[in-house]
Amino acid sequence: MGSYIIRRLSSAVPVMAIVAIIVFLLLHLAPGDPAAIMAGDNPTPEAIAQIRQQLGLAEPLWRQFLLWVVNLTHGDLGQSIVWGEPVTRLIAQRAEPTISLALTTSVFAVPIALVLGIAAAAKAGTAFDRCVMGFAVLDFSIPLFVVGYVLIFLFSIKFKWLPVQGYSPIANGVGPWLRSLTLPTLALGLPYVALIARITRATMLEVLSEDYMRTARAKGVGSARLLLKHALKNAALPIVTVIGMGVGFLIGGAIVTETVFNIPGIGRLVVDGITRRDYPIIQGVTLILSGVYMLVNLLVDLSYALFDPRIRY
């Protein structure tokens, strides 16, 4: 188990390094002069020169990269061009709504998806199964923002049950916090439910067709116990993997969801960053969210070693 953990950790390091290089190079490989684009419409030469100075673009590429890496190790992601504040501080300020949304979405989506997926596998081929799978395909196909606007239109504008948009920090009370997150969680959660339910069903079906399941059935193991103990235990790894990979989907979805519901999270930060061409913000958020995604998947992989005694390599 120890060597598995070391192996997995050592393979994560080069990938993280390559991610850092890609994120760094994006700025430099983009055609045109990034400083001129960031300076906005009709920039003065002085404004362009100032941005170039601020980003250190006049230095040779390798020095810029070294400087960037050294700053990274100090937790310095540079300064926002628009707000003039450190990128890390801006991200920290905006983290609460995004983390809240990711949490409520996972808490909402994962249990529902597991129940739907397991039930569909148990009743494979029936009308119920076909309904669940149809719902999953539909969920994959509706864009997040369309779901979001339909929800706002129904529950906020027509029935006036929930706030239209915005976010209420948890410090102002759990009730308003939950109310402000209800619709965003539904919008972001639906495709997530579809994703996990599909994989759960497929994996369960595969496990159910194994010889040892037939043996268990022949032994007279009850169907609920068969499903939950014998099958789910063996199906757990692929399902956990997909939940981990789904975090990437959650991150991307959060950017759109925060825009639809006007939630001042990290996603809004990056969208504001785009419209104002604030490259340090885009670079910083991309790097941090990629890091979070890799970390989650690293933890998922490491958890295999705990869940599955077969992993010893």
Partner 1 sequence: MAAVLNTTAAVPLRVHAGLGEFVLRNPTIVLGVALLAIIGIAAVAAPLLTGDPMAISPSDRLLSPDAEHWFGTDSFGRDVFARTIQGARISLAVGLSVAVLSIIIGLVIGLVAGYYRRVDGIIMRFMDAMMAIPSILLAIALVALTKGGIGIVIIAISLPEIPRVVRLVRSVVLSTRELAFVEAAVASGSRDFKIIRRHILPSAVAPVIVQATFIIAAAMLSEAALSFLGIGVPPEIPTWGNMISAHKLYLARAPWTIFFPGAFLTVVVLAVNLLGDGLRDRLDPRLARRM
* Binding footprint of partner 1 on the chain (CB under 8 A): 14-16, 18-19, 22-23, 26-27, 30-32, 34, 37, 137-138, 140-146, 149-150, 152-153, 157, 198-199, 202, 205-206, 248, 251-252, 255-256, 259, 270-271, 273-275, 277, 279, 282-283, 285-286, 289-290, 293-294, 297
Q: What is the CA radius of gyration of the chain?
A: 23
Nearest approach in angstroms of CB 83 to partner 1 is 16
CB of 263: closest distance to partner 1 in angstroms? 14
**Cβ-defined contacts of 13-16 (< 8 Å, 24+):** 15/294, 16/291, 16/294
Q: How near is the Cβ of 120 to partner 1 at its closest, in Å? A: 13
Closer to partner 1 by CB, 170 or 236: give it.
Answer: 236
Which CB atom, from 177 or from 239, has the smaller least distance to partner 1?
A: 239
Give all strands (DSSP E) within the chain, no chain letters: none
Query: What is the rounded CA–CA span in Å between residue 30 and residue 238?
Result: 38
Q: How far is the CB of 258 from partner 1 (least distance, A)?
A: 10
Smallest distance from partner 1 to CB 163, Å: 14
Give every CB contact of residue 78 below 8 A, 6+ residues apart in sequence.
55, 68, 71, 86, 87, 280, 283, 284
- Min separation Cβ 131 and partner 1, Å: 15
Q: Which is nearer to partner 1, 97 or 253 (CB)?
A: 253
Structure token pair of residue 29:
């490989």
* Closest to 205 measured CA to CA, from 140, 132, 269, 142: 132
38 vs 18: CA distance, rounded Å: 25
**Cα 287 from Cα 302, distance rounded (Å):** 22
Token readout for 162 is: 């929930």
